[in-house]
Amino acid sequence: MKRFSTYYIYTALIISGLAVGIVGLQSEKIKANPLPVVILANQMSAQDFLQLGSSKLEQDNLQGAIADFNQALQVNPNLVEAYTKRGIARIQLGDFKGAIADTNKALQINPKYVEGYIYRGAAYAALGEYQKANADYDHALQLDSNPNHIAAVHTLRGYTRYQQGDLPGAIADSNQVLQLDPKSDKAYNLRGNAYARLGEFQKAINDFSQALQLNPKDDKTYNNRGITRAQLGDYQGTIADLNQALQLNPNSYKAYRNRGATHNALGNYQEAIPDFNQALKLNPKFAEAYNNRGDARYALGNYQEAIADFNQALKLNPKFAEAYINRGKTHIGLKGYQKALADYDQALQLDSKLVNAHLGRAIAHISLAEYRKAIADCNHVLQLSSELSAIAYSIRGISHAMLGEQQQAVEDLETSAQKFKAQGDTKAYQDLQKIIQAFKNLWRLRLKGQINSVI
């Protein structure tokens, strides 16, 4: 049985990488120099058509390749390699179901045909049928003993596991690849992405750095390392990596968006907006960039422009919970509390555990004097998050105070004050102390008035 070429392995890698959207896989195609064919069509064998189609496939003449493979199969309906290569061409054209039909036929003829399992797995992965893809990769690994081929299949399976959320499985596959090929930048990149999603940011950065030593011209790896550095608060390192990514690829709309988001995190909103503008120029359907630009405009006090951006983000992605939350806080800025409540309700329908939605809704409720509802939302925040507990206690404390529940109010406000103090927020601590004292004075005056009325 003829073994599959490195070119076709990398074709599968490219297609799988595009399907799961993790990192770009650069094709190193073998440039074919086919000999001129002067044989008349009616004198050509199935192998002749197969050779012609294979040459066209390597030259990206996909429709021409399919036509030749069709001719080969008319001459020999049992030519396994023609089905598989026609399937490869269909994968590259986005006809994944057609590719599955072709590889099914190849595997019916030869159930031990390794290439059939690999390319059918790639087609299943592109359709999001990851369990079927992994089953095919497992079959390929059982049938093949060539270390280079095994490394390629582990890479494919690793990407599919990553997309499924099986991050330990993706790491295990990457480890297998690196044992067989220690210079695989793709394996380092994949493992780095898996570590990042697991919150092991320093391990992720180490892997991205290793990948860049092996392939210093991969803009996507700079992008990956940059956004991971942001998780550790290294925003200057993030911007440096994203600058490098954009130098390598000025059309990377994701890098522009990520650099803009980093400027937002640094409070450099005026610098952020041009990056979001460029990202949207390159990709007008980039909902995340609209959301981020809206956040920058909100921070600058441009509420109507911010709402326009959030509207566009939600038009592109009606299930974009963060955009609902951001539009909600902007409505609060405009004193549109009912509209804010509608946005927070929509976000919580998408995910009932969104802490910022509960917190924003609590602020809207307290602004509408709906104190019990504000308390209920604060309770959700305290159950879900310790990071936002200081502000949740303050809102709940003020709500209790407005309801005349003095003991609960003082307890919550004092708890909030101490939490802000522990966080180093001296101003918030001092402000809360003043609020507590103001409420105590008010209650004393009320009590004195009640006593005087009785006397």
Q: Residue 134 is part of a domain; what is its CATH number?
A: 1.25.40.10
- Domain total of the chain: 1
Residue 71 CA to residue 195 CA, distance in Å, equals 48
Does residue 73 lie in a domain region?
Answer: yes
The whole domain housing 20 covers 1-164
On whether the pTM is more than 0.85, the answer is no
435 lies in some domain: no
The CA-to-CA distance between both ends of the chain, in Å, stands at 107
Residue 8 covered by a domain: yes
Residue 58 lies in a domain: yes
User: Measured between alpha carbons, how far is 300 from 272 in angstroms, rounded to an integer?
Assistant: 11
Residue 121 lies in a domain: yes
- Asked whether the CA dihedral 142, 145, 150, 151 is positive or negative, the reply is positive
pLDDT at 449: 54
The whole-angstrom separation of Cα 91 and Cα 313 is: 31
**Residues with Cβ < 8 Å from 76, sequence gap 6 or more?**
46, 82
Query: Buried (b) or exposed (e) across 11-31, using 16+ Cβ within 10 A?
Result: bbbbbbbebbebbbbbeeeee
Pick from 110, 111, 109, 107: which is nearest to 123 by CA? 107
In tens digits, the chain (455 residues) has pLDDT values of: 333 333 333 334 443 443 333 233 323 333 334 434 444 455 689 999 999 999 999 999 999 999 999 999 999 999 999 999 999 999 999 999 999 999 999 999 999 999 999 999 999 999 999 999 999 999 999 998 888 889 999 999 999 999 999 999 999 999 999 999 999 999 999 999 999 999 999 999 999 999 999 999 999 999 999 999 999 999 999 999 999 999 999 999 999 999 999 999 999 999 999 999 999 999 999 999 999 999 999 999 999 999 999 999 999 999 999 999 999 999 999 999 999 999 999 999 999 999 999 999 999 999 999 999 999 999 999 999 988 999 999 999 999 999 999 999 999 999 999 999 999 999 999 999 998 888 888 776 665 454 445 44
CA distances from 133 to 165, 166, 194 (A): 14, 14, 19
* Three-state DSSP state, 113: coil
Residues 6+ apart with CB under 8 A from 179: none
| Rounded Cα gap, residues 92 and 99, in angstroms | 9
Quick check: 434 and 408 in contact, CB under 8 A? no
Q: Could you tell me if residue 23 is inside a domain?
A: yes
Structure token pair of residue 440: 């105590």
Kindly state whether residue 59 falls inside one of the protein's structural domains: yes
* Nearest Cα residue to 65 out of 94, 39, 85: 85
What value, to the nearest 5°, has the Cα angle with vertex 25 and ends 21 and 28? 155
What pLDDT is recorded for position 147? 85
Q: 115 lies in a domain?
A: yes
Most distant pair of Cα atoms in the chain: their distance: 121
Indicate the SS3 state at residue 75. helix
